[in-house]
Amino acid sequence: MTDDFSGGRILVTGAASGIGAATATLLAKRGAKKLILADRDEEALSDFAFSLPCERALLIGDVADEALWNDADLTGLTHALVNAGTAAGKPIEALEFEEWRRVMSTNLDGAFLSLRAAMRAMKSGGGSIVLTASVAGVKAEPGTAAYGASKAAVIHLARIAAKEGAPDGIRVNAIAPGGVETPIWSRVPFFADMVMDMGSEAAAFEAMAKIATPMGRYAKPEEIAEQIAFLLSDRAAYMTGTCLVTDGGYSL
């Protein structure tokens, strides 16, 4: 059993920032030599990829655009982190359909298309896939209708994919982080208000974590990357279809 990724060809979506970037960095430290990094933010992705000490191919575009995946060369893919995501934070009665569709497009359509491309590429050789869901897909909270529903669907998608992929040696798991200190929160209106009130993102993160998280803090992206690397690796060889909740006790 190993967490050495040196023999792998590994896809990471949403790789330019936050959890995706932290995971790509960790996998490179654990020996990964061939990374395929996908993101729609071309500048951030190019800057980040430049910092990695390994071979990397860039897939630039919207993960919810089927053409991106039709044109992608995923030959020999062994591992995939399906992670690109976006947030929203409004009660149902205030949520515009356009906002609902924006979230569903990236979080669910994008997850489906990325997952399908990875499973097709792994069909003959097997592999391991992790989908980044969220504790918002496990625990119902007001104001998370679009985000939470999309992530609950991602958790179930992982279960179905696990059953379909098992005969081909493909493992599929989900991870459900609680709050993680990344730029995704800038999309959430109440967080932006808290940053204004409290003067900094760090103060807003601390205040939110103190309210709801038994551990009293949000996760660093590097902590979530450790859990993802575990699920991707052979150390999790008998795990498939699970959802690993890693939330500092938030959902208890």
Is 147 considered catalytic here?
A: yes
- Applying CB under 6 A, the span of 88-96, 180-188, 203-211, 238-246 interacting with ligand NAD comes to 180-188
Stretch 36-65: interaction string toward ligand NAD, x if CB under 6 A: ---xxx--------------------xxx-
Q: Which of 102, 76, 77, 99 is nearest to 13 (CA)?
A: 77
For the record, the structure tokens of 176 come out as: 């459900």
DSSP state of 123: T
- Applying CB under 6 A, the span of 77-85, 89-97, 189-197, 198-206 interacting with ligand NAD comes to 77-85
Query: Considering beta carbons, is residue 19 or 232 the nearer one to ligand NAD?
Result: 19
For the record, the structure tokens of 89 come out as: 């934070």
Stretch 95-114: interaction string toward ligand NAD, x if CB under 6 A: -----------x---x----
Q: Could you tell me how many residues make up the chain? A: 252
Provide long-range contacts, Cβ within 8 A and 24+ apart, for 110-113: 110/13, 110/62, 110/63, 110/64, 110/84, 110/85, 111/63, 111/82, 111/154, 111/157, 112/157, 113/63, 113/64, 113/65, 113/66, 113/68, 113/69
User: Nearest distance from residue 168's CB to ligand NAD, in Å?
Assistant: 25
Q: Determine how many CB atoms are found less than 10 A away from the CB of residue 237.
A: 11
- Applying CB under 6 A, the span of 82-90, 121-129, 163-171, 190-198 interacting with ligand NAD comes to 82-90
With binding defined as CB under 6 A, does residue 184 bind ligand NAD?
yes
Instruction: Determine which residue in the list 23, 182, 240, 246 makes contact with ligand NAD, applying CB under 6 A.
Output: 182
Query: Considering beta carbons, is residue 86 or 125 the nearer one to ligand NAD?
Result: 86
CA distance 244 to 238: 14
Whether the Cβ atoms of residue 173 and residue 241 lie closer than 8 Å to each other: yes
Q: Which of 56, 167, 60, 74 is nearest to 115 (CA)?
A: 74
Residues in region 112-151 near ligand NAD by CB under 6 A: 132, 134
With binding defined as CB under 6 A, does residue 179 bind ligand NAD?
yes
Sites of contact with ligand NAD (CB under 6 A)? 14, 16-20, 39-41, 62-64, 83-86, 106, 110, 132, 134, 177, 179-180, 182-184
Catalytic positions, written as ranges:
147
